[in-house]
Amino acid sequence: MKLHGTMKINSLSHLEIGGCDCTILAKDFGTPLYIMDEQLIRENCRSFVKAFSDHYPDIEIVYAGKAFLTMAMVKIIQSEGLSLDVVSGGELYTAYRAGFPMERIYFHGNNKTPEELTMGLELGIGHFVVDNLAELEMLDKQASSMGIKQKVLIRVSPGITADTHHYIQTGQLDSKFGFPLYRDSAFRAVKEALDSKSLIFNGLHCHIGSQITDVNAFTSAAQTMLSFAARTKEELRATVNILNLGGGFGIDYTGEDGNLFVGDFSAPITATVKEALKKYRLPPPRLVVEPGRYIVGNAGTTLYSVGSVKDIPEVRKFVFVDGGMSDNPRPALYHARYRAAVANRMSNSYGEKVTVAGKCCESGDILVKDIRLPEIKSGDLLAVLSTGAYNYSMASNYNRLPRPAVVLVKDGRADLVVKRESYKDVIRNDVIPDRLKK
């Protein structure tokens, strides 16, 4: 099996990540367990910065925190010199409490609450990415009342339908995100921002979707955005200092999704941007991209203990693990596919086809369907690969399952960065009203 990052098979035929034997991690931290490979996260950050900076002079890489955010992750992003995209008060609070520089924050979201707007203004964040007119007006009013001049980007919905699961398409006309170009909605938003009392129009943003593997979707978006920038310059004298093209860079989950390297995206995107700048005679803006999945996706592995194995002759052999859609809802939501390995018996021989199912009370709680694995039995450890993005961050307490711990591994060290939830944690916010206590 093709391993990546710091993964290797040690002399005991165990899977090792960041120099840590997975069987020991399971003993020390329990299962299910999210294991994050720090070196690979850092390598992903660096290759992203390099791939874009090699082709364009003014680049800002903004990590999309929704993919995976903890206070330790904030520290890694900060030390790698990336900026941070947050999409809620909770993500902003995490960044703030971890000491992240607020000037490097972009605050996204289609329905920021008045409290979230105030929080961002009070903390002095760099940019709000404004999604709609109500938000624009509310932010202007609030900033004025606080005596603050606030930089904003206008989020444009460029009318591009990317080839990915429709739940994670965002750039098409029928989308809840951003101002459509259609009927001049985005144009009027730029005008309002320029005319506002306390907002400083600093540029444009778009994000066309997630897990996109076709670079043409990005280059079309870049073209569309620059043609729009040219129009706002000509008709409104607007200056786009920042062109933020969002995230969505796809990764290889199965070993069959294609070898996707950031360079395959950065070279055509920056070439398109440069060409369009020439064509429209625009001064070069700062180019911003917002990868989430690409930074952490392949750096995460989820380790499960195998419980029962249920063989339905001639139909299917189920392998049950001690987690499921509560720690990884992606297969149920998007039919996402993953690779898996038996971490305590790594072998190149593949036995029968099995289906890995979780323990949630739901037939759709399937983690990996029809996968060939070496013979597997109760008590084995199953590693599901490339779970670093949108697993921990989308985990729930469905069936009142406590959420797993997260460990960060590097050079043979394993540090707990999120504690495992206990049953006490599960009930910590429950309240029994007095009238029910009798």
Instruction: List residues binding ligand LLP (CB under 6 A).
Output: 64, 66-67, 85, 108, 168, 207, 210-211, 246-249, 290-294, 330, 334, 389-390
Which helix (H) or strand (E) segment holds residue 276: the answer is: helix 262-280
Environment class of 430 (CB within 10 Å of its CB; exposed 0-12, middle 13-18, buried 19+): exposed
Q: Nearer to ligand LLP by C-beta: 5 or 247? A: 247
Q: Nearer to ligand LLP by C-beta: 139 or 381? A: 139
Helix-strand-coil split of the chain, %, nearest 5: 35, 25, 40
Catalytic residue among 20, 45, 206, 361: 361
**133 neighbors 112 (Cβ within 8 angstroms):** no
In terms of phi and psi (left: phi > 0; alpha: psi -120 to 50; beta: otherwise), the region of 124 is left
Smallest gap from Cβ 132 to ligand LLP, in A, equals: 14
Smallest gap from Cβ 301 to ligand LLP, in A, equals: 16
* Pairing between β-strand 300-312 and β-strand 83-86 as defined by DSSP bridges: unpaired
Residue 45 is a catalytic residue: no
Cβ-based neighbours of 297, under 8 Å, separated by 6 or more: 67, 251, 253, 386, 388, 389
Q: Nearer to ligand LLP by C-beta: 63 or 304? A: 63
> Which string of b and e fits 193-224 if b means at least 16 CB within 10 Å?
bbebebbebbbbbbbbbbbbbebebbbbbbbb
Smallest gap from Cβ 249 to ligand LLP, in A, equals: 5
Smallest gap from Cβ 88 to ligand LLP, in A, equals: 12
> What is d(CA 275, CA 418) in angstroms, rounded to the nearest whole number?
45
Q: What is the DSSP letter of 331?
A: H
Smallest gap from Cβ 91 to ligand LLP, in A, equals: 12
Smallest gap from Cβ 210 to ligand LLP, in A, equals: 3
Backbone angles phi, psi at 120, to 5 degrees: -65, -40
Environment class of 152 (CB within 10 Å of its CB; exposed 0-12, middle 13-18, buried 19+): buried
C-alpha of 281 from chain center: 34
Cβ-based neighbours of 141, under 8 Å, separated by 6 or more: none
Q: Nearer to ligand LLP by C-beta: 67 or 215? A: 67
- Using N-to-C axis directions, what is the helix angle for 215-236 and 185-195, rounded to 10°? 50
Supply the residues annotated as catalytic: 361
